[in-house]
Structure 1
Amino acid sequence: MDYLQAFILAVIEGLTEFLPVSSTGHMVIASSFMGIGNDDFVKLYEVAIQLGAILAVVVLYWKKFFDFSKWQFYVKLIIAVIPALIFGKLLNDFIDEKLGDPRFIAIVLLLGGIVLLFIDRFFKKPQINNEAEISNLTAFKIGCYQVLAIVFPGLSRSAATIIGGMQQKLSRNAAAEFSFFLAVPTMCAATGYKLLNGYELLNSENVKFLLFGNVVAFIVAIIAIKSFIGFLSKHGFRIFGWYRIVIGVVILALYFSGVEMNVL
């Protein structure tokens, strides 16, 4: 992997991590077109640059994350992340198997896209408009939806938690913002686990790649998050549904045309 390829992957991470379109599906396509070998460091890089995206959330919502007087906020995040930590560990082998199957990822992308086409019609009467109104039980239920994204690669962590939030009567904006907040402990845990298991790959050159990728992902994620909230308020999820369907079809077309798919 060279720096141009590292840049492209970091841009993809920053753009897609917080949108309901599946960063995994986009990595599949990008890796295939660039011909990047699916070696251990590439796998580590694709996970570790999530740190940059995480930092973007913390910076944009710094008042929320550093207002220690409102300890209930941290309790909700801890409660919401517990299901992902438990099932991520228990189903690790199954998840790795599905991450290696581009057909599975493409089908999940397609099905998730169809759901997003109609999601705005399903939940028309939200009752919760901000994080402070979310109960601990509601936070836990949203966390259970996040498990679906872990078990079904291609679903999108963002899509699963936003849909879960709206099912729990959160407004579109409130669901999206809580999805951002929940990403911080979830992605910190995933990145930390990956770095802990791949620390032997962290030579001086690879560390430079990781620093570079995280800076790029951070900048792009800030732009993506701010743009997404504004777009969501005006237009809803329908366009993301169509977009997911197109991406799913592209992955299937690449796979059945014999293109080698370098999955995560």
Structure 2
Amino acid sequence: MNDYIISVLLGIVEGLTEFLPVSSTAHLRISEALLHINLTDPYWKMYTIVIQLGAILALLLLFAGRIIEFFRTFPKGEDGEHTFWNHPLTLTIVAFLFTAVPSLLLTKTIGKHLESLRVMAWALVIGGIVMWVVDAWSIRRDPQTKDVEEMSLMQAIWVGICQVTSAVFPGTSRSMSTIAAGQMVGMTRPAALEFSFLVSIPTMIAATGYDLVKTLHPGHHATAAPYGPEAASTSIAPLVMTGHEWIVLGIGFVVSFVVALGVVEWFLQWVRKHGFVIFAVYRLIIGALLLAFGAKLAGM
């Protein structure tokens, strides 16, 4: 298949799934297998990381006003009653730190699972069940935290800790783990979703930046390789790319950015009216199919 078409398809997959609670990692891995992309090729490893930056840029653009407002009102908040420790800006950073530190300590464990379709399949299924149960339970108990400005420090810490599961078990979905975690500690659907988006900004920037440096840097040891022991031996530094490869990369980045713009807006509206059940059901279906045909897919 033409590289330009492949780039468009992968950009669409990344833009569609990065912020939905269905796991962009699993969908990109499945797409790469179906498209017969060589996962040991360092260029395509770098490509997968860069198109994630397109989705991050879309989220930054959509939440720019909200983020600027947080900086403007720090630390007392819009109502003048907040403190340094319960301002949304602080809570976002706290949640990020409670994700980043354990994730760094578990680097070797994370590397073992990154390409395992079986791990992704089980993560999709279990995550779907958790999301369905938590969403139903949360609505029945009448959640009290209706806005991120009403969040507590302990709620932010809990969300950050739960987000680690998405790093350790690819297929879990970063957004699923943070949304479900927020609902478990009394946040409404919109509040849990908004905080999931906010905490994803520093988390994704740090994670993709870290992976990109490891991929481009030739001096990293094998244990630090982003896609397992073989990745360090296939570093692409110094970066030398053809015009064709730059165009393919640019297409994926732009497509991911544009699609993510639309998806985030749609997702916010959908959740306010319908909740997360449809995504839980989708996860169960995709996970079951991956368990049934994953071995064949991996051998394609």
Shorter-normalised TM range:
over 0.9
Q: Distance in 2 between matches of 1:34 and 1:210?
A: 16
> Residues 172-202 of structure 1: CA distance to partner in whole angstroms, max 9, x if unpaired?
0111111111111000001111221223164
Counting only pairs closer than 5 Å after superposition, residues 8-157 of structure 1 correspond to structure 2 as 8-38=9-39, 39-67=41-69, 68-71=71-74, 72-124=87-139, 125-157=142-174
2:145 and 2:186 in contact (8 A); partners too: yes
* Contact 2:135 2:180 (C-alpha < 8 Å) held by counterparts: no
Q: What is the one-letter code of the residue matched to 1:232?
A: V
Return the letter of the residue paired with 1:61: F
The aligned amino acid for 1:252 is L
Aligned partner of 2:252: which letter? G
Q: What is the CA deviation profile of residues 222-244 of structure 1, one whole-angstrom value per residue up to 9, with x for unaligned ones?
A: 11111111111121111111100
The CA deviation at 1:213 is: 1.8
- Kindly provide the CA deviation profile for residues 202-254 of structure 1, in whole angstroms up to 9, marking residues without a partner as x: 43444443332221111111111111111111211111111001111222232
Contact 1:54 1:187 in 2 (8 A): yes
Counterparts of 1:120 and 1:138 in 2: how far apart (Å)? Answer: 17
Aligned to 1:175: 192
1:171 partner amino acid: T
Equivalent residues of 1:25, 1:247 under 8 A apart: no
Specify the code of the residue in structure 2 equivalent to 1:116: M
Structure 1: unaligned runs, 5 residues or longer: none
Q: Shift of residue 100 of structure 1?
A: 2.4
Give the percent of matched residue pairs that are identical in Structure 1 and Structure 2: 38
Unaligned runs of 5+ in 2: 75-86, 217-236
The counterpart of 1:164, out of the listed 166, 181, 190, is 181
**CA–CA separation in structure 1 for the residues paired with 2:238 and 2:132:** 42
Greater relative CO, 1 or 2 (CA 8 Å, sep 6+)? 1
For the pair 1:192 / 2:209, whether they are aligned, the reply is yes
Matches of 2:34 and 2:238, distance apart in 1: 25
Matching residue of 1:240: 279
Q: Distance in 2 between matches of 1:117 and 1:66?
A: 34
Paired with 2:206 and 2:34, the residues of 1 have a C-alpha distance of 30
Q: Distance in 2 between matches of 1:137 and 1:210?
A: 41
Partner Cα distance (2:253, 2:103) in 1: 24
Q: Contact 1:118–1:238 at 8 Å: present in 2 too? A: no
Instruction: Report the secondary structure of 2:186's partner residue.
Output: coil
TM-score (norm 1): 0.92
How many residues align? The count is: 261
> RMSD across aligned C-alpha pairs, in angstroms?
1.8
- Residue number among 209, 227, 240 corresponding to 1:203 in the alignment: 240
Judge which range, 246-255 or 23-32, deviates more. Answer: 246-255
Which segment drifts farther, 229-238 or 151-160? 229-238
Q: Distance in 1 between matches of 2:73 and 2:49?
A: 31
Partner of 1:7: 8
